[in-house]
Structure 1
């Protein structure tokens, strides 16, 4: 591994692009390789064993590409696989994402925090341990919203269908006293405007992209792997439809993007 080596980032689909965007903003000199495992989206409705299998396959792929770090830009995959990945690759920087429970616990005035996530994340022992560790005195309300993942994957970020999908879940948690809302899936920041409109302008919405980018920078710096000056490139790959990923990523990231197919062996 060298400072010039790429950073691998993956998710089941396009949700992890919200994390990729934060990494690109914080570390513009780094080369990034993003894999959308779109052939298997969504992870949130898959078994833990299947998600772990995909985590091993994609991390092995990043290692074959000489990656100096891997970011598991998916809450479900982090919960299912991060410990096993670190045991399998002890010399590789491997960073996961988890819902922003700790900052939410510090921000709440009502003592009630609402968490939107996938079924897989909310049912995981790792998430239960996170809540117990970071917010033992706070009431945490959980609301699985797998349909939100589908909206983002279809490129629906606004409009009547999106408003209808977010209105009821947000209203439920707000009515139950939640004054801070956690976006516990990397797809959900792309629906931020609709969620904020439903929640009200003064309600904090917490996501994880920026904290992940800061921690990645710290880890690279500690190991002497930060790349020097310059502008890194961003490559997108998918186990699904490459033209579809390019079109959707261009819209989500606000710039023209191209995408290629991940080699067959890793699909």
Structure 2
């Protein structure tokens, strides 16, 4: 996938998935030392700083929870807080089916989040980049006083900073949105339109994987 993106003249590659970043980011940087990469990790540090109760809820995938990168974050930044974890199994599938803020998502999330609230959690970290799409449902359950930390703005700021650092930042409003996928193109296009409400400037292109 990285070789395909570089062939499309991408000047920076973001890996906006906690699980993928944990599994592949170090190897990608080693294999492509001249390419700027931006990864992501669960916002444990800002979560630990934000909590007043000393209890932080982290919503992420099992792959993220089981990674060495996550363990290192916990050791560095969460020593003085209690972290309560849940993978919200099934939520990714609902989001990809266009049901991020549906009754199904509400039924799935309500017992999970209520349990965390009962344990004193006052700050939730959305540790999977799918989960911000369900933010409205999460907010509906936890109320307005609870802090929800979405990683997306930090990723955008880091991408801008890295582009500036490498003198690669474009000037002007000429950006276009293109998309490629290793999966079903029609389904992927529907997901894009549903989740981000944007139309692509170019047709979805397939990535042909050769093993």
| TM range, smaller chain | over 0.9
How big is the shift at 1:259?
A: 4.4
> Structure 2: any 5+ residue segments left out of the alignment?
none
* CA spacing shift, 1:93–1:266, aligned 2, 3 Å: farther
CA contact (8 A) 2:59 2:126 kept: yes
Give the superposed CA RMSD: 1.5
* TM-score under structure 1 length normalisation: 0.75
Structure 1: distance between partners of 2:82 and 2:123? 11
Structure 2: distance between partners of 1:254 and 1:148? 20
Identify which of 155, 172, 182 aligns with 1:229: 172
CA contact (8 A) 1:240 1:261 kept: no
Counterpart in the other structure of 1:89: 32
Identify which of 184, 206, 210 aligns with 1:262: 206
Counterpart in the other structure of 1:179: 122
Identify which of 144, 154, 174 aligns with 1:211: 154
Structure 1: distance between partners of 2:112 and 2:101? 16
Judge which range, 226-235 or 73-82, deviates more.
226-235
SS of the residue 2:121 aligns to: coil
Structure 2: distance between partners of 1:60 and 1:226? 21
Structure 2: distance between partners of 1:114 and 1:205? 9
Query: Counterparts of 1:72-151 in structure 2 under 5 Å?
Result: 72-151=15-94
Structure 2: distance between partners of 1:220 and 1:67? 12
Runs of 4+ residues deviating >4 angstroms? none
> Structure 1: any 5+ residue segments left out of the alignment?
1-57
Identify which of 182, 191, 196 aligns with 1:239: 182
Counterpart in the other structure of 2:2: 59
SS of the residue 1:68 aligns to: coil
How big is the shift at 1:87?
A: 0.7
Per-residue CA distance 1:127-160 (angstroms, 9 max, x = gap): 0101111222111111112311000111112232
* TM-score under structure 2 length normalisation: 0.94
